[in-house]
């Protein structure tokens, strides 16, 4: 992957002045509730730079990056997890994948998102329309991936993720996902919180937590002010005896390389190779859908690839 540089000095200075991105995994109430808290402001801005996103597109895809990052609390080692949305609204779809190590990549089906009229609010439900949300776990220990799917019920990612776990896995789960923009439309704060019951969880604790999470300040605005994950947990979740169990990085990162795309090209059918060498164009430009990195191949490079 080739990361594009963030161009605006104000954003660079802001990112350098706030806490670094982090995924803090923790337990509550004596280990009967697990949680994950992500600060991902730099990740969202790097994603925006590579995919060349506007404000609306940054909000939609950024929320999906944070939501998928929160789900990594359920995987380990070399496991991966993906979030896919297919929908009938202008967004059309989202595909995001995260590794247990915290590397996140993914894309919008429609970029830019076509609008028939200017948005009056950040209510995204009309932009999603009817559709499906799918979660897939690629576990190193399993021969086949595990996948579950539900219909979009709200058009709000945090609510639809909670609905997925309640419907598909019968587990009570809470999400809070937020991206805060300044007056210039820059993403100055981004974060998300994931809370899920474990065996032995007290329903009273879960109901109290639901009220607590509902009353939290905007996580995006909170992180834009420079506060970090530990302070938020100590401030708002101290009554539930939080125990930190993992402090993991979180980042916009894709495993694509020019060599890998070269392998794809060299595996094409012989007639396709002949057609490319005869008709071009040169250089041949390939694009990674997940991170929008472009890799160029000259005629000479293609001749060498195809000869091998």
Q: pLDDT per residue over 91-119, tens digit each?
A: 999 999 999 999 999 999 999 999 988 87
Q: pLDDT per residue over 251-300, tens digit each?
A: 999 999 999 999 999 999 999 999 999 998 999 999 999 999 999 999 99
CATH number of the domain enclosing 90: 3.55.30.10
286 and 151, same domain (yes or no): no
Confidence (pLDDT) at 121: 79
Residue 229 CA from chain centroid, whole number:
18
Q: pLDDT per residue over 153-164, tens digit each?
A: 999 999 999 999
117 located within any domain: yes
CATH number of the domain enclosing 285: 3.90.1280.10
239 and 270, same domain (yes or no): no
Q: What global pTM score does this model have?
A: 0.96
Q: Which of 216, 237, 252 is the last residue of a domain?
A: 252
- Of all residues in the chain, the percent with pLDDT exceeding 70 is 100
In sign, the C-alpha dihedral spanning 179, 183, 188, 189 is negative
Count of structural domains within the chain: 2
Q: pLDDT per residue over 12-53, tens digit each?
A: 999 999 999 999 999 999 999 999 999 999 999 999 999 999
266 and 248, same domain (yes or no): no
Confidence (pLDDT) at 183: 95
| Distance set, CA 95 to CA 10, 35, 104, 269 (Å) | 30, 23, 11, 28
DSSP secondary structure letters along 127-167? HH-SEEEEEEEE-TT-SS-EEEEEE-SSS-HHHHHHHHHHH
Domain holding 300, by residue range, is: 258-307
126 and 237, same domain (yes or no): yes
What value does the mean pLDDT of the chain take? 96
* Helices 9-17, 41-51: crossing angle, 10 deg rounding: 160
């Amino acid at each position: 992957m080739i990361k594009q540089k963030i161009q605006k000095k104000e954003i660079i200075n802001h990112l350098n002045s706030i806490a670094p991105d982090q995924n803090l995994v923790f337990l509550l109430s004596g280990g009967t509730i697990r949680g994950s808290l992500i600060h991902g402001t730099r990740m969202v801005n790097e994603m925006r730079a590579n995919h060349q996103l506007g404000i609306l597109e940054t909000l939609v895809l950024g929320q999906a990056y944070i939501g998928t990052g929160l789900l990594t609390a359920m995987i380990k080692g070399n496991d991966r997890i993906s979030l896919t949305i297919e929908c009938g609204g202008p967004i059309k779809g989202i595909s995001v994948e995260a590794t247990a190590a915290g590397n996140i990549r993914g894309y919008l089906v429609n970029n830019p998102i076509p609008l028939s009229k200017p948005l009056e609010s950040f209510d995204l439900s009309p932009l999603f329309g009817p559709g499906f949300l799918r979660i897939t776990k690629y576990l190193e220990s399993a021969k086949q991936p595990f996948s579950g799917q539900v219909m979009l019920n709200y058009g709000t990612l945090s609510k639809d993720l909670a609905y997925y776990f309640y419907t598909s896995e019968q587990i009570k789960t809470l999400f809070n996902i937020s991206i805060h923009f300044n007056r210039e439309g820059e993403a100055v704060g981004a974060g998300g919180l994931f809370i899920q019951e474990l065996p032995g969880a007290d329903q009273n604790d879960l109901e109290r937590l639901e009220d607590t999470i509902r009353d939290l300040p905007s996580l995006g605005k909170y992180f834009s002010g420079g506060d970090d994950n530990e302070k938020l947990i100590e401030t708002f979740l101290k009554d539930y005896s939080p125990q930190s169990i993992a402090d993991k990085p979180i980042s916009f990162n894709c495993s694509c390389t020019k060599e890998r795309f070269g392998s794809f090209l060299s595996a094409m059918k012989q007639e396709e190779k002949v057609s490319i060498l005869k008709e071009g164009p040169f250089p041949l430009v390939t694009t990674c859908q997940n991170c929008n990195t472009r890799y160029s191949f000259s005629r000479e490079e293609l001749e060498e690839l195809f000869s091998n």
